[in-house]
Amino acid sequence: MNNITFYFSLVFSGILIKNVLLSQFLGICPFLGVSKKTSSAIGMGISVTVVLVLASMVSYAFYYLVQVPFHLEFLRTISFIIIIASIVQLIEVLMKKYMRSMYESLGVYLPLITTNCAVLGIAIININNGYDFLGSILYALGSGLGFLLVIVLFSAIREKLELMDIPKAFKGLPIALITAAFMSLAFIGFGGIL
Amino acid sequence: MKISDIFKNGIYKKNAILIMLLGMCPTLAVTTSLSNAIGMGVSVIAILTMSNILISTLRKIIPPAARIPAYIGIIAALVTIIEMLIHAYVPTLYVSLGIYLPLIVVNCIILERAESFASKNKILYAAFDGLAVGLGFTLALLLISAIRELLGTGALLGFTILPSATNMLIMILPPGAFLTLGIILGVMGHYANKKKEELENE
């Protein structure tokens, strides 16, 4: 029973409390870059979630099955970034071959994910916090869903902001950052739940 | 090409954070205090200068098709070295930078300089470019973190300056990061617009 609450809290805190974007500042580049339209925000969010879960699984397995037994922990950063880059490449190739329509809508976001710090960040957090295999997957899933939720909400607000009468100097990125500040403020409120 | 131009571009004309808007994650995350910003800035200057030198040295050997993985490999190796050095000699900084230290690998500034400058220029220029862009990054970090630390805790580097009644805790929490950067960019935009109008009127 205790285990179930622990796993549940991992997913939940990934989505709301320790949100990757608004409280941990991981993956801010796509957050600001790909959030002008809701459709592209959904595409980016889904791609990040898939890559996050797969990358956490593979990096967890690689770390505990290869690096720890051979005392190669210091190569963690290098090996994880190579794992992430290969996973992204693999997904791109598979998607191109078997899911043509999905590739056409999501394909452009895939190469960007290699340098998305959320993926490497979550993989390292999983190891640092000592989560087990299931915990790592669930935390990655929660973080991915949190990323999806926030980037979609943010893009919806930004679409409306385009039509607003904003001081000229604040148009574009400055007002987007201030919007993100208020969203982040709202998400602090979730901290009291767990 | 003049070395003074490289420094002008790196430090203010094409400032990595405030003009090019690269490397947002560390900018927002580690600017809770001035000392963290200094630690992050110095690490990035060291990594950026060394990666520029290495990539410029190897620019004729690395095949163009495999250049991005090669650059990421070089950067990751340098980051690992710096991470181990900081862990050994400045353990408090290691703890306070936490996960953002290994995440320098995916800092877009370093890859961008490798791709757009170091791979095309001589070693000496590449070294100065790394130094200049790193300095620009550090100065922007210092500006943001000074505002946040002063308004959030009333102190700078541990010395109390403002009375505790004026402390706004929100500035050192995550929303303060977005707010500070948004307002800085807005103010900069205002002056840029003003300058443009003056030029048009002349």
Residue ranges of the alpha helices (H) in chain B? 3-8, 24-29, 34-57, 67-89, 91-97, 108-113, 123-153, 174-201
Chain B CB contacts of A26 below 8 Å: 25, 103
How far are the Cα atoms of B31, B84, B86, B138, B157 from residue B91, in angstroms, in the given order?
A: 18, 10, 6, 21, 18
Which position has the higher pLDDT, A111 or A20?
Answer: A20
Q: Which chain A residue lies closest to B23 (C-alpha atoms)?
A: A29
Q: Which residue has the tokens 């470019």?
A: B129
Look at A124 and B173 and tell me if their CB atoms are within 8 Å: no
The reported pLDDT for the residue numbered A25 is: 87
Q: What mean pLDDT comes out for the span B96-107? A: 87
Q: State mean pLDDT over A64-93.
A: 87
Asked if B77 and A78 come within 8 Å (Cβ–Cβ), the reply is: yes
* Residue A56, pLDDT score: 93
Return the percentage of chain A with pLDDT > 70, whole number: 97
Provide the pLDDT for residue A64. Answer: 92
Q: How confident is the model at residue A194 (pLDDT cuts 50, 70, 90)?
A: low
What residues of chain B lie within 8 A of the CB of A125, using their CB? 99
**Contact criterion met (CB below 8 Å) for A27 and A45:** no
User: Do B136 and B7 contact (CB within 8 A), yes or no?
Assistant: no
> pLDDT, tens digit, for every residue of A145-174?
999 999 999 999 999 988 888 888 888 889
pTM of the full structure: 0.88
pLDDT of residue A137: 93
pLDDT at A1 over 60: no
User: How many contacts does A have with B, using Cβ atoms within 8 A?
Assistant: 116
Tell me how long chain A is: 194
Q: Which chain A positions have a beta carbon within 8 Å of B106's beta carbon?
A: 81, 115-117, 120
Task: Provide the mean pLDDT of chain A.
Answer: 86
Chain A residues close to B193, C-beta within 8 Å: 168-169
Residues 6+ apart with CB under 8 A from B133: B10, B16, B48, B109, B113
Give the closest of A167, A174, A188 to B182, CB-based: A174
Segment B135-192, tens digit of pLDDT: 999 999 999 999 999 998 888 887 888 887 778 888 888 899 999 999 999 999 899 8
What pLDDT digit, counting tens, does each position of B35-91 carry? 889 999 999 999 999 999 999 999 888 888 888 888 888 999 999 999 999 999 999
Distance from C-alpha of B146 to C-alpha of B31, rounded to nearest angstrom: 8
What pLDDT shows up at residue B5?
86
The pLDDT-based confidence of B129 (bands split at 50, 70, 90) is very high
Please say if the pLDDT value at position A106 is more than 90.
no
pLDDT at B65: 80
Give the integer Cα–Cα distance in Å for A143 and B113. 30
Q: Do A82 and B73 touch (CB under 8 A)?
A: yes
CB contact under 8 A, B102 and A168: no
Residues of B in contact with A124 (CB under 8 A): 99, 102-103
pLDDT value for A91: 84
Chain A interface, mutation test: which of B99, B115, B180, most A Cβ atoms within 10 Å?
B99
